[in-house]
Amino acid sequence: MIWVIGDIQGCYQALKTLLKKINFDPQKDRLWIAGDLVNRGEGSLETLSYLYSIKDSIDIVLGNHDIALIGAYYGIKKSNYTIDPILKASNSKELIDWLRQGKFLHVDKELGYCMAHAGISPSYNLETAIDASKKLEKSMQSENSKEWLTEMFSKDMSQYNPNASDIDSQKYALASFIRMRFCDDSRAFDFKQKGSPNSLPSNKQHLKPWFALSSREKIDLKILFGHWSTLGFYNNDEVCSLDTGCVWGGSLTAMRIDDKSEDIIQVTCS
């Protein structure tokens, strides 16, 4: 069986409960994880260590909190008490180096699904998205990843420009894969709005979820994503949002994707 799981954010006990509920066996089953493995949850080290122990049975995409952890390891982002244990662990380099091998976009054309933490930019078709992801992954895995990530943190890029410099194109790609929620009609991101689509202030009613833009480039695969706890579980023929706010006292969600049943299993978090 293949299951996709939404944002864990260090909620280790909820993860273990969910895996028991779906009868997950790393010897024969596979997990897709939609990013934000760590941060805010009390069991971030345990979560990362466990996932590392079953790394051959999982596919992960990196989320904004995972990138923040890598930044904290490099000393270019502030740490906090939930990720300090990872940074202080005797095998912290091993864990961070493994995390740096993560993807920004995972694609399985045979299954008919792809996965990115925040989704796929409405300005990207599938091939453009794959190319953008590969460029980010190459940079993240390079010997100069600290310098590259420092540059990535230096300026927001909210508007797609096919003629942008390579570094600006990567800034935009990173934002789209790990931070995107709302867009305006020009497809520009609005990073400040983090609530549900029904809670936009009166002066922001023109914004739409990235997946709801009528001008969005067509992607034939169903897009699985997390990142948007205030949106919660949302599922249609084109997209599925799986961040159900475990770290905020909500639930942790798994969806089966290998048999088209899309069975949903959830556990309540505490």
- Reported as a single tens digit per residue, the pLDDT across 205-230 is 999 999 999 999 999 999 999 999 99
Question: pTM above 0.75?
Answer: yes
CA dist., res. 148 & res. 136, Å (int): 10
Length of the chain counted residue by residue: 270
In this predicted structure, what is the pLDDT of residue 260?
Answer: 85
Q: Residue ranges of the chain with pLDDT lower than 50?
A: none
How many other C-beta atoms lie within 10 A of the C-beta of residue 138?
12
Helix 44-53, helix 12-21: angle, nearest 10: 40
In this predicted structure, what is the pLDDT of residue 32?
Answer: 98
Q: Which residues contact 164 (CB under 8 A, 6 or more apart)?
A: 157, 172
In this predicted structure, what is the pLDDT of residue 90?
Answer: 98
Phi, psi of 240 (to 5 degrees): -145, 125
Q: Tell me the HSE value of 140 on the side-chain side, using a 13 A CA sphere.
A: 26
Q: Is 30 helix (H, G, I), strand (E, B) or coil?
A: strand
Q: Which domains are assigned to the chain? A: 2-268 (3.60.21.10)
Q: How far is CA 94 from CA 81, 86, 140, 179, in A?
A: 20, 10, 15, 26
Q: Tell me the HSE value of 159 on the side-chain side, using a 13 A CA sphere.
A: 6
In this predicted structure, what is the pLDDT of residue 50?
Answer: 98
Tell me the two tokens of residue 178.
């790990």
Question: Which residue from 223, 62, 227 is spatially nearest to 145, judged by alpha carbons?
Answer: 62
In this predicted structure, what is the pLDDT of residue 151?
Answer: 97
Q: Which amino acid is it at 188?
A: A
